[in-house]
Amino acid sequence: MQVVLVGTCVFVYDGRMAYVIVSATLLLFFLGWNIFLWGYRDSNRPVLEPHPQQVFDPRCRPIFLVHEPPADKALIMVHGFPSTPHTYGYAASRAFAEGYDVFVPLLPGFGTKPEDLYHTTFSQWYGYLSRFYQSKRGQYRFLGVVGTSMGGAMTLRLGEDFSDTPQAPDALVTVAAPLFINSFRDRVVKRWSMYIMRTVALFTPALSPDIHWGGTKQNDGEEIWIGYRGTFVRAGLSLVYAFKGIRRDLEKITCPLLSFHDKHDGTVPYANLKVIASHVRAKPFKERTVEMQASHNRHVLLMYVSVQKQLLDEIIEFCESLKQMNR
């Protein structure tokens, strides 16, 4: 220890104290860098297109159902992360039977092999969806967008980008849309492990990546889910970072919005629904809480046999009422 007298002030220098201060500072920086993604940017990358001819299973391919001649109303359905269009099998068929043309695109990086997702970002997935949406907007008098999970977040982003413009969607429907998985602000921590994923991403793009071909045991439709499994840390960081901007801009959404979320969702916290409800300026806005009694994680709601008909009834009714208002 050294004691230094300067004027009438005495300064005590202790090497151990300096070590503690420096260590605490580095720890706080490490936590902030991981938790709040300080300095993170969704890097500029090339425009991506999906490769449906390279899917690992034919069920991963886009679902395009178009009447002959084409209808004057259509729905675009957007899958989640790291899912595929197959989750909308029932929803697409049902909407088509109700007279809608239906488009369920495969997002780039998904449905082929896990390695194709490693170095892609939210801006690339959303960029493709935005271009796809704009290509359909002028073709239909009524065009709505339905999104599940990450697809729901993208649906909100479309609303933010195109509300109050000539290309505004006529209806938005979100199912378990995430704006956060962990949030100190909302007193929700779903996965503590997410707080070190940015560090993990320095060393590997994914943990235990694999392909899930679906289940063999019937469980309310949960068994039909196919896609990638594992933890895609780099792509996941891009997604979590995107949530921040989507949440910030919720008030830009003025087009009609219907939002579903199960109260016991095992993947995306139910609290997200309340954040959406309290910040959007959608007219009309309807929120719908689902309370399933099930053994699965109650997340991909339009896939579950026990509720899919009721929820599709509500979606179709919502869209049809808007269509009548717009006449």
> What's the farthest any 2 CA atoms get from each other in the chain?
92
Q: For residue 307, is it within any domain?
A: yes
What domain range includes position 8?
A: 1-35
CATH number at residue 286: 3.40.50.1820
Low-confidence ranges of the chain (pLDDT < 70): 1-14, 44
Give the tens place of pLDDT for each residue, 35-87: 889 989 887 689 999 999 999 999 999 999 999 999 999 999 999 999 999 99
Indicate if 16 and 66 belong to the same structural domain. Answer: no
Closest CA to 160 of 60, 251, 94: 251
Query: What residues does 259 pair with on adjacent strands?
Result: 174, 287
Query: What residues does 103 pair with on adjacent strands?
Result: 64, 76
User: Tell me, what's the pLDDT at 9?
Assistant: 56
**Structural domains in the chain (count):** 2
Indicate if 191 and 225 belong to the same structural domain. Answer: yes
Which spans in 71-149 are helix H? 89-97, 122-137
Q: pTM of the prediction?
A: 0.92
Indicate if 239 and 268 belong to the same structural domain. Answer: yes
Q: What letter represents residue 12's amino acid?
A: V
User: Tell me, what's the pLDDT at 32?
Assistant: 85
Indicate if 110 and 14 belong to the same structural domain. Answer: no
User: Tell me, what's the pLDDT at 14?
Assistant: 64
For residue 7, the 8-state DSSP code is: T
For residue 173, the 8-state DSSP code is: E
Indicate if 87 and 221 belong to the same structural domain. Answer: yes
Closest CA to 266 of 319, 197, 191: 191
- Please tell me the distance from the alpha carbon of residue 195 to that of residue 206, in angstroms, as a whole number: 15
Indicate if 73 and 17 belong to the same structural domain. Answer: no
Indicate if 9 and 71 belong to the same structural domain. Answer: no
- Please tell me the distance from the alpha carbon of residue 231 to that of residue 183, in angstroms, as a whole number: 20
